[in-house]
């Protein structure tokens, strides 16, 4: 049967929209107005000079940005950002449109040891283990540290974190540095791996990270890191982390305006430093939980606002940094599964580009590798949901239905040879669109009991330990590893407020 269609329109995949285009425009215009009417504070001398030279109104550290400067920055920022494989330079993550990628989060003070279940301060070893797990999981696309290294001087923790990451994965890395000096050292290490400054700029495998202090303060370290990233033309994330009813208005639209105000003022600084510099907007928009006073990572408002923020990012055609796969629960239990699953599904359907904090538990204070492994399985399911249903002549399978007939039996295997598919005596349907779980149990009760009757969390923990014990990441060149070690050993920590 041949199908011919005229003026035919179909949705290829399920999608999620929270805001209309008109609502996105309203929020953006409100943020532009707030940046002129109220402004934000920049606590860095060079940043103030850059903004003043560009035509912003500077009064002490308060900066008000005229609308036309924000509008120009929106036009000049890079719309096509690609992150690469650190070993091969292959271009892997295309941070644009509705492409959704997922990775871990950074900077948790605590971690959960997968062998002893002990909750302890993050260390070089724990960051190395975490990166190894991230490297092994097929649905994790990039790495963040999942810990602040605390068995070294804290002012040098960022260098040690990056060293552990680059040694244990070839996936792209998002790096969080203490200050501009830490960021300079990390960039030097990345340039060694890439083969030089120009090679890193052409095929970046690192993405820099900075965030303002809400409401409306660009601290010195954040502004300096943003300026350095722009000068180096390296992708830089600028992410407000704000709480409704705490560091932003209680209304969800008010949170959106406050966050956009901070993101757009950061965008202006980036573009006034170096027009065309790659900039990624985003945020962790959530609520201040009034019962516990925590910054909630499991609140449904977080998922709702970040899906709305993805709509705004698509409206502006700017790459978006989102949040998913985290929980407020102190252990990996049913609550953790619910919160991680809802956030991953909503984020994947919203089309936010780079989505972090997978593996966060205890409202962002503790990383948990069991949750990372469970989230990897959830991601596989979520991506199956957004893969849609292919409707064409082959998939409607009329010939197969006729061949089997009433009362017959349909059989299929994945990716079989064509000659097997055409066997009239044993009709087999070639199917490659069924999701095959690697962690979730679908066995009958008797089979499950014979295998030990394990819970999902127990199976996930076994997988974590197996990866740590046996997975071998693609090795970093020994010469590059030695040069990186030298930078780490000779790094100098700067106390906050030091000029040089």
Task: Render pLDDT for 213-244 as a digit per residue (tens, 0 to 9).
Answer: 999 999 999 999 999 999 999 999 999 999 99
pLDDT attached to residue 3: 52
Q: 215 preceded by cis ω (within 30°)?
A: yes
CB 320 within 8 A of CB 260: no
Residue 1 has pLDDT above 60, yes or no: no
pLDDT attached to residue 36: 97
Determine the average pLDDT of the residues in 475-479.
Answer: 96
Q: How many Å from the N-terminal Cα to the C-terminal Cα in the chain? A: 75
CB 170 within 8 A of CB 85: yes
pLDDT attached to residue 110: 98
pLDDT attached to residue 416: 41
d(CA 375, CA 383) in angstroms, rounded, equals 12
Closest CA to 19 of 253, 337, 186: 253
Residue 190 has pLDDT above 80, yes or no: yes
pLDDT attached to residue 495: 85
- 149: region left, alpha or beta (phi > 0 left; psi from -120 to 50 alpha): beta
Residue 168 CA to its chain's centroid (Å): 18
pLDDT attached to residue 209: 97
Q: pLDDT category, 370, cuts 50, 70, 90?
A: very high
The number of beta carbons lying within 10 Å of the beta carbon of residue 298 is 23
Closest CA to 163 of 125, 203, 122: 125
Q: Which of 222-231, 279-288, 431-440 has the lowest mean pLDDT?
A: 431-440
pLDDT attached to residue 48: 98
Alpha-carbon separation of residue 189 from 9, 232, 481 (angstroms): 49, 14, 9
pLDDT attached to residue 421: 46
Task: Render pLDDT for 309-346 as a digit per residue (tens, 0 to 9).
Answer: 999 999 999 999 999 999 999 999 999 999 999 999 99
The percentage of residues in the chain with a pLDDT greater than 70, rounded to a whole number, is: 93
- Strand 360-361 relative to strand 366-367, pairing: antiparallel
Q: pLDDT category, 411, cuts 50, 70, 90?
A: confident
pLDDT attached to residue 9: 57
Determine the average pLDDT of the residues in 14-36.
Answer: 96
Q: pLDDT category, 15, cuts 50, 70, 90?
A: confident
Determine the average pLDDT of the residues in 11-33.
Answer: 92
Name the more confident of 127 and 426. Answer: 127
The percentage of residues in the chain with a pLDDT greater than 90, rounded to a whole number, is: 87
pLDDT attached to residue 394: 86
pLDDT attached to residue 487: 98
Determine the average pLDDT of the residues in 179-184.
Answer: 97
Q: pLDDT category, 388, cuts 50, 70, 90?
A: confident
d(CA 280, CA 277) in angstroms, rounded, equals 10
Name the more confident of 9 and 17. Answer: 17
d(CA 485, CA 472) in angstroms, rounded, equals 20
Q: Which of 51-60, 106-115, 381-390 has the lowest mean pLDDT?
A: 381-390
Determine the average pLDDT of the residues in 351-361.
Answer: 96
Alpha-carbon separation of residue 393 from 221, 309, 422, 435 (angstroms): 58, 38, 17, 22
Determine the average pLDDT of the residues in 442-468.
Answer: 96
Q: What are phi and psi of 47, to 5 degrees?
A: -60, -40
Determine the average pLDDT of the residues in 268-284.
Answer: 96
Determine the average pLDDT of the residues in 442-470.
Answer: 96
Q: pLDDT category, 417, cuts 50, 70, 90?
A: very low
């Amino acid at each position: 049967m041949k199908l011919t269609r005229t003026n035919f329109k179909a949705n290829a995949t399920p999608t999620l929209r929270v805001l209309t285009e008109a609502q996105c425009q309203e929020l953006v215009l409100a943020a532009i107005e707030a940046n002129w009417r109220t402004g934000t504070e920049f606590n860095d001398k060079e940043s103030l000079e850059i903004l003043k030279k560009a035509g912003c109104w500077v009064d002490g550290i308060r900066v008000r940005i005229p609308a036309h400067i924000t509008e120009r920055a929106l036009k000049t920022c890079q719309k096509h950002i690609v992150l690469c494989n650190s070993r091969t330079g292959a271009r892997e993550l295309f941070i644009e449109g509705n492409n959704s990628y997922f990775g871990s989060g950074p900077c948790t003070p605590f971690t959960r040891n997968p062998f002893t279940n002990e909750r302890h301060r993050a260390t070089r070893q724990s960051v190395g283990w975490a990166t190894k797990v991230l490297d092994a999981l097929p649905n994790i696309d990039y790495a963040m540290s999942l810990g602040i290294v605390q068995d070294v001087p804290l002012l040098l923790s960022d260098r040690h974190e990056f060293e552990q990451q680059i040694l244990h994965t070839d996936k792209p890395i998002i790096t969080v540095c203490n200050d501009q000096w830490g960021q300079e050292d990390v960039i030097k290490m990345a340039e060694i791996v890439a083969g030089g400054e120009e090679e890193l700029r052409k095929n970046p495998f690192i993405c820099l990270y900075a965030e303002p202090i809400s409401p409306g303060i660009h601290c010195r370290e954040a502004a300096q890191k943003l300026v350095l990233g722009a000068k180096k033309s390296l992708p830089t994330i600028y992410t407000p982390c704000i709480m409704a009813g705490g560091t932003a208005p209680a209304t969800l639209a008010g949170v959106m305006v406050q966050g956009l105000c901070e993101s757009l003022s950061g965008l202006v600084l980036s573009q006034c430093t170096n027009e065309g510099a790659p900039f990624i907007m985003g945020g962790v928009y959530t609520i201040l939980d009034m019962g516990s006073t925590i910054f909630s990572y499991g609140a449904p408002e977080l998922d709702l606002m970040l899906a709305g923020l993805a709509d705004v990012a698509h409206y502006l055609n700017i790459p978006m940094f989102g949040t998913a796969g985290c929980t407020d629960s102190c252990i990996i239990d049913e609550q953790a599964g619910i919160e991680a699953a809802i956030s991953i599904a909503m984020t994947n359907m919203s089309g936010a580009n780079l989505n972090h904090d997978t593996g966060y538990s205890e409202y962002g204070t503790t990383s948990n590798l069991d949750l990372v492994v469970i989230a990897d399985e959830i991601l596989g399911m979520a991506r199956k949901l957004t893969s849609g249903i292919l409707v064409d002549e082959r998939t409607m399978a009329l010939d197969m239905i006729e061949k089997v007939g009433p009362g017959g039996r349909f059989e299929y295997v994945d990716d079989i040879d064509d000659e097997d598919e055409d066997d009239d005596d044993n009709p087999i349907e070639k199917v490659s669109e069924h999701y095959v779980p690697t962690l979730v149990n679908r066995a009958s009760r008797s089979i499950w009991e014979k295998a030990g009757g394990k819970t999902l969390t127990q199976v996930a923990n076994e997988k974590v330990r197996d990866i740590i014990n046996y997975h071998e990441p693609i090795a970093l060149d020994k010469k590059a590893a030695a040069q990186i070690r030298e930078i780490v050993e000779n790094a100098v920590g700067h106390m906050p407020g030091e000029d040089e």
